[in-house]
Every structure is written in structure tokens, then in C-alpha cells.
């Protein structure tokens, strides 16, 4: 029986698959093959992932696994893996676990099935690296801080950014991008920022300058205060 279980574990694997952050053509051949060969795809939102599957005529069953149910659904994934299934996991866009769900799933699988069990990374797009590639700032070393807290902790964050010598990368939503730029204007008025909006999408836009200048741009162009933003802050000189 132990040999059978071990065989099933060897046949099974969990694939953490990076998907496009906007343009659906930004999918790797390996990612497409993995999604096609999987017995099931767990995803952050079935409606979002279905658009990708339809684009490439893939028919693998979808199951929802977002941040709210990650702990509970991890048990379900482990049961499937223990039966020898191949399971793929994707988030709505980009690389799983990067300001997205996924890390609890990986941790649970490793704890239950051991470090020898196959969990493979299928690399691909990530908004932070894509934005860094067009920012014109040194990226040998950088600090990624994800989404700023909505309320408590923002002053502490601003102080951390002001004191950081490396380039800092943040994500921000359309609801709070103006507020973030206002705070950066006060905390680091003389440091250059790059704001990349809707990267890889039809209305991709890049604004570079001092925080106040970029803030004025968005205040004067309210139509551009939509979508997802990557904010890159020059390090302390």
C-alpha cells in the first residue's frame, strides 16, 4: 500500500501557474500545456480564468480557491493530490502569491505531503517586474511592499519609504492612487516616482516625475484614474 501511495504522489503535482496581467497573448507555451494537462484548475475567480481558457480552447474543469477559502480548500487540493491528480493553481492575473493568494496552499501541501512532493513554478508575467523594466531606475536591488494598508500603518509606510536607499515598488488601486501620491508628495517631495497604469493593456500609461507633478497629472486627467497601478519610487540618495 505504501508503494502505491508513493507512486500516486510521484504522479501527482501542484503547478503554480503565472497568467497574463492584461494582454492574453502574454501566456507561455508551458503554461498552456500545464493548464491543458491538469486534472483540475483551482483559481481565484472562475469567471476571470474562464476567459483565458476560452481564448485558448482549453476545457479543464475550474474550481474556485480565493483568499477567503484558501485554508479550507487547501484540504480539498491535498486530497486530490494524494489520489495522484495533477492540480494547477492560478490567480486572476500574474504570478500566484505575489500580492495574491497561493502561499497558504503551497505551505499546506508541503506540510501534509512533505518537501519531496512536486510543487512546480510555471513562471510568467508579474506586474512589478514588467513595470521595473520600463521605469529607467536601477533594479539590481529593490524593495517590494505590495499594496499599502488602507488606513492604519500608512504613516509608518511613508517613513519606511523615505528611509529606504533601494528602489521601492508598490501596487495601488484606482480608489487610492491619488491619496498615495499626496502622501508621497509630503514624505519624499524631491524623489522621482514612476507610475505605470494598466500595464500590458490597451490603455497602458506611464507617468514619471516628482510626486507632486505626477499627482497634478492625474488630478487634471481624471479619466486616467482607473485600473491598477504600479508605483516605483526612487531610492534615497
pLDDT band at 226 (very low <50, low <70, confident <90, very high): confident
Cα(10)–Cα(4) distance, rounded to whole angstroms? Answer: 10
CB-CB contact of 229 with 197 (8 Å): yes
Is 11's pLDDT higher than 80? Answer: no
Domains of the chain, start order? 2-124 (3.40.1010.10), 128-233 (3.30.950.10)
CB-CB contact of 237 with 166 (8 Å): no
Cell 488630478 belongs to: 219
Residue burial 111-129, b: 16+ Cβ < 10 Å; e: rest: eebeeebebeebebbbbbb
Three-state SS at 57? coil
Q: What does the block give as the cell for 213?
A: 507633478
Nearest alpha-carbon partner for 197 in 188, 183, 208, 209: 208
Report percent pLDDT > 70 for the chain: 96
Cα(164)–Cα(137) distance, rounded to whole angstroms? Answer: 15
pLDDT band at 8 (very low <50, low <70, confident <90, very high): low
Is 59's pLDDT higher than 90? Answer: yes
φ and ψ of 86, to 5 deg: -100, 120
For 105-153, write each residue's pLDDT tens digit. 999 999 999 988 999 999 999 999 999 999 999 999 999 999 999 888 9
For 152-206, write each residue's pLDDT tens digit. 899 999 999 999 999 999 999 999 999 999 999 999 999 999 999 999 999 999 9
Cell 512533505 belongs to: 114
Q: Say what the alpha-carbon torsion angle 180, 182, 187, 189 is, to the nearest 10 degrees.
A: 120
Amino acid at each position: 500500500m505504501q508503494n502505491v501511495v508513493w507512486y500516486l504522489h510521484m504522479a501527482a503535482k501542484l503547478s503554480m501557474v503565472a497568467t497574463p496581467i492584461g494582454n492574453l497573448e502574454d501566456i507561455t507555451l508551458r503554461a498552456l500545456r500545464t493548464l491543458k494537462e491538469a486534472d483540475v484548475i483551482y483559481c481565484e475567480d472562475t469567471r476571470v480564468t474562464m476567459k483565458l481558457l476560452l481564448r485558448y480552447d482549453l476545457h479543464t474543469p475550474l474550481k474556485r480557491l480565493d483568499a477567503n477559502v484558501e485554508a479550507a480548500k487547501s484540504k480539498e487540493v491535498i486530497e486530490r493530490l494524494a489520489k495522484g491528480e495533477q492540480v494547477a493553481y492560478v490567480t486572476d492575473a500574474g504570478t500566484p502569491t505575489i500580492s495574491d493568494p497561493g502561499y497558504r496552499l503551497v505551505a499546506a501541501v508541503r506540510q501534509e505531503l512533505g518537501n519531496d512532493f512536486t510543487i512546480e513554478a510555471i513562471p510568467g508575467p508579474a506586474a512589478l517586474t514588467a513595470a521595473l523594466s520600463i521605469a529607467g531606475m536601477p533594479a539590481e536591488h529593490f524593495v517590494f511592499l505590495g499594496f499599502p494598508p488602507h488606513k492604519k500603518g500608512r504613516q509608518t509606510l511613508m517613513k519606511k519609504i523615505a528611509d529606504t536607499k533601494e528602489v521601492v515598488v508598490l501596487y495601488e488601486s484606482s480608489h487610492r492612487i491619488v491619496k498615495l501620491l499626496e502622501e508621497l508628495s509630503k514624505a519624499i517631495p524631491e524623489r522621482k516616482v514612476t507610475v505605470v497604469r494598466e500595464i500590458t493593456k490597451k490603455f497602458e500609461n506611464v507617468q514619471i516625475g516628482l510626486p507632486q507633478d505626477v499627482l497634478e497629472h492625474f488630478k487634471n486627467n481624471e479619466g486616467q484614474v482607473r485600473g491598477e497601478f504600479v508605483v516605483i519610487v526612487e531610492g534615497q540618495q
